[in-house]
Each structure stands twice: as C-alpha cells, then as structure tokens.
Amino acid sequence: MFIYFEEIIFMLNDILNKTDNDMKKCFYKFITNISKIRTGRVSTSLLENISVEYYGNVSLLKYISNITVDNNNTLKVSVFDFSIIPIICKAILKSNLGVNPNVIGNNIKIIFPYLTKERKLFLKKILHDETEKNKIIIRNIRRIYNNKLKKLLKNKEINISNERNKKNDIQKLTNKYMKKIQDIYIEKKREI
C-alpha cells in the first residue's frame, strides 16, 4: 500500500509540474510575441529575430550583426561581414516592419516613423488580442489537466480530496500566470 501511495503522489506532482511547464511556455511565448510590438521607443527586439540567408544557411540577424538603439526611433545594425549588407537590407524590407534600411558606410540605419494616434490604437488592439489569446491558452491548459484529474478520480486511482487539492494547486498556477500576463499587458500598453 505504501508503494501505491508514493505512485499517487508522484502522478499528482507530475500533473502539477506539467501544468506549470505548459503555462510557463505559453507565458514566455507571450513575452516573445509582444516584444515585437513597437512602443513609443524602438527596441532591438524588433530586428533580432529577422531571418537572413547567410552563405546557404538561415541565421537570425542577432547572430550575424550587432543591433543597437541609436535614438528613440532609430536602430543601428553593425554587420560582421560587410558583403551581406544587401541581403540584410532585403530581409529587413521583407519583415513587414514598414521601414526602409539606409546603408551608411558599414552600418545599416533603420529609422522608424513616430507613432501616430491611429497606429497607437492599432498596436493597442494587437496587444489586447495577443493578451486575450494567451489567457485563453492558459485556461485551456487548466481545463486539460483538470480533466486528467477527473479521469484519475473516475478510474479510482485517486480520491476526491487528492483531486480537489490538485485542482486548487492548478487554479493557483492559473491565477499566477494570468496575473503575470495582465501585468505585462498593462506595462506594455502604458509604453505605447
């Protein structure tokens, strides 16, 4: 009976760990996605993940250059291999950022236009939609793992008190990640 009890504890903790991992992945993906949304000032994250074909391989721009913030609306790309400057310019144009790269010597300068009222409203809508999408994903993760607990209870592998305790733990995780997402949403909205 003691081994059975240990197996139950392991199984329940495994469910909780998987729930936490899935919610954490969703949260980090949310952070990555909203970091691409431009605020009042530019950020290197706008260019870092642009794919560039580099000698037959596809590399991210952050690995083949140094990206720095020049001022509030300008980014400077210092390329390690000057022969690929035209390729990088093409990749930036294809990235749908709505900017034109300017080659100045061995550097590329990207000047972002200042945000208009309409553009700010549009970006806030995108931010809101991304936030809601990720909140739904978090709730779906909760539902999936709560259903696993129900199935274990139905199969009489756990008792009702185990199920309630783990459901409460899953709800605490859900609340934690929902709050984190909401806090980042508020901060990012303020930046826009």
Q: Residue holding tokens 């083949």?
A: 64
The distance from CA 73 to its chain's CA centroid, rounded to whole angstroms, is 23
Burial class (CB in 10 A: 0-12, 13-18, 19+), 73: middle
Tell me, what amino acid is at 72? N
pLDDT at 158 over 70: yes
pLDDT band at 2 (very low <50, low <70, confident <90, very high): very low
* pLDDT score, position 1: 39
pLDDT band at 3 (very low <50, low <70, confident <90, very high): very low
Dist. CA 49–CA 54, nearest whole Å: 14
pLDDT band at 168 (very low <50, low <70, confident <90, very high): very high
20: helix, strand or coil: helix
Of 59-68, 103-112, 118-127, 176-185, the range with the highest mean pLDDT is 176-185
Question: Across the chain, what does the average pLDDT equal?
Answer: 90
In tens, the pLDDT along 138-156 reads 999 999 999 999 999 998 8
Domains in the chain: ranges and CATH: 2-36+117-191 (1.10.132.20), 45-111 (3.30.1360.40)
In tens, the pLDDT along 37-83 reads 877 778 888 888 899 988 888 999 999 999 999 988 899 999 988 88
What's the DSSP call for residue 83? G
- Show the beta-strand stretches assigned E in 16-122: 51-54, 57-60, 65-71, 74-79, 101-104, 107-111
pTM value is: 0.76
Average pLDDT of 18-39? Answer: 91
Q: Which residues of 5-44 are buried (b: 16+ CB within 10 A; e: fewer)?
A: eeeeeebbeebbeebbebbeebbeebeeebbbbbbeebbb
Span between the terminal Cα atoms of the chain, in Å: 59
* pLDDT score, position 42: 84
- Report DSSP letters for 180-191, one per residue: HHHHHHHHHHHH
